[in-house]
Amino acid sequence: MTSSPPAPILSLPMELWFTIMADLPSSKKAVLCRASKDLCSQTEPLLYRDITLTRRKNQMPPMARLLSKLAHRPDLAASIRNISLIENKSF
């Protein structure tokens, strides 16, 4: 069984990759993360660069979820540049 070659986008220089990915909305970065392990390893740090946390009814507080994630993945903490907290007052 032969393995398939890496996706052409993964052969781009890292500087170019980050320039392209930085301009994508978070929803598109999340899609890339789910596409493959290789894409996720390159895209996930960008997902954590700017974080917006919104508290919603009947959910674990978002800051607790973020801290839990970072406790398991401390490498992502270095990627964070901005955290915004939004409280949904409609509940």
pLDDT digits (tens, 9 = 90+) for 71-81: 999 999 999 99
3-state class (DSSP) for residue 85: strand
Q: C-alpha angle with apex 24: 33 to 79, nearest 5 degrees?
A: 65
Per the model's pLDDT, the better-predicted residue between 82 and 43 turns out to be 82
Q: Report pTM.
A: 0.68
Degrees (nearest 5) of the Cα angle 32, 9, 51? 35
The whole-number pLDDT of residue 17 equals 78
8-44 pLDDT, tens digit each: 666 778 788 778 888 889 888 889 888 888 888 888 8
**Would you tell me how many other CB atoms lie within 10 Å of the CB of residue 51?**
17
